[in-house]
């Protein structure tokens, strides 16, 4: 596999996950379509196994490891969703998994990884803190690292949702996708552009973690001093080098969204579509509601996940 993933890489990943992953549907968002005078659909990855798109990349990665690499066990540095995905994939392959999570991890995401059999290690609050601890565990215990986004197998796996969009809606005009470390946005953008080149792909990130915006301005990944906000799954301090290379080729634009807009989008998805989205999962709808993206043609908003429990969800809706 080359660094820049190909259509063959994406199709190979789709075959690997076909019997284990959920092929999430495209659902029409009629209320938002009426409000915007546009044709808006959602790709609800909260319906994916482990509650987020991350399972696609995690399973694709583990499926390509050697038996010896899997037997040693795997380690996943993660704010939550990647950890749960790797834990589930590891359980399917019958191998041990360690999740390195932030000290600020939400109870729902920690409990989810634990229920799936992962051993939990807590390390700081930043992506670098988690990565450093995971590297220590690789060296001390011989574990195999499963990167959250900066690897072609991860990008290809996550990009399978873009293949599904293009297959289910060949005439798609606009696709909005969340941006954290850049894996799902890079993989999805590549898949959409390779299958439906007429489509625009727009990345959406939190105002408090505008790492792709900064990278596009600089022409290279830029490490932010700090990140903050409700969208805990999108608070990477730097977009990955490999995802950025894909963004440079396939992503047309990037916009940033406020926390207030995220709350409104979560409420709209719950009230009007009966979908529970965590803040990161609702960010593309927030961008549309806030008028940050003008839909062109049939428009698909990727809802990246729903790993939030009532104790965390209800207070956000009440604000």
Catalytic residues: 54, 304
Q: How far apart are CA 39 and CA 257, in angstroms?
A: 21
Residue 161's CB: how many other CB atoms inside 10 A? Answer: 28
Q: How far apart are CA 194 and CA 167, in angstroms?
A: 11
121: part of which helix (H) or strand (E)? strand 119-122
Dihedral, CA of residue 49, residue 53, residue 56 and residue 57, to nearest 10? -130
Q: How far apart are CA 213 and CA 254, in angstroms?
A: 6
DSSP class of residue 45?
Answer: G
With CA atoms as reference, report the closest residue to 199 among 225, 229, 168, 228. Answer: 168
């Amino acid at each position: 596999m080359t660094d820049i993933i190909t259509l063959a890489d994406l199709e190979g990943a789709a075959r690997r996950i076909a019997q284990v992953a959920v092929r999430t549907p495209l659902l029409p968002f009629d209320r938002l379509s009426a409000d915007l005078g546009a044709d808006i659909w959602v790709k609800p990855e909260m319906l994916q196994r482990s509650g987020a798109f991350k399972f696609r990349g995690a399973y694709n990665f583990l499926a390509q490891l050697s038996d010896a690499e899997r037997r040693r066990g795997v380690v996943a540095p993660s704010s939550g969703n990647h950890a749960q995905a790797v834990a589930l994939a590891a359980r399917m392959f019958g191998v041990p998994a360690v999740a390195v999570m932030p000290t600020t991890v939400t109870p729902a995401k920690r409990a989810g990884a634990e229920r799936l059999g992962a051993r939990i290690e807590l390390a700081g609050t930043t992506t670098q803190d988690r990565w450093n601890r995971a590297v220590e565990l690789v060296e001390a215990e011989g574990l195999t690292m499963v990167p959250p986004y900066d690897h072609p197998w991860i990008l290809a796996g996550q990009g399978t949702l873009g293949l599904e969009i293009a297959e289910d809606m060949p005439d798609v005009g606009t696709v909005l996708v969340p941006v954290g470390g850049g894996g799902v946005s890079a993989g999805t953008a590549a898949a959409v552009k390779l299958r439906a080149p007429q489509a625009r792909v727009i990345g959406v990130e939190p105002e408090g973690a505008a790492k792709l915006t900064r990278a596009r301005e600089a022409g290279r990944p830029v490490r932010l001093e700090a990140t903050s906000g409700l969208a805990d799954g999108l608070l990477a301090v730097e977009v990955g080098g490999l995802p950025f290379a894909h963004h440079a080729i396939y992503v047309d634009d990037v916009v940033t969204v406020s926390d207030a807009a995220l709350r409104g989008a979560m409420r709209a998805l719950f009230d009007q579509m009966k979908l529970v989205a965590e803040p990161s999962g609702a960010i593309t709808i927030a961008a549309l509601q806030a008028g940050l993206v003008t839909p062109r043609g049939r428009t698909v908003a990727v809802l990246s996940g729903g790993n939030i429990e009532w104790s965390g969800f209800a207070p956000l809706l009440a604000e």
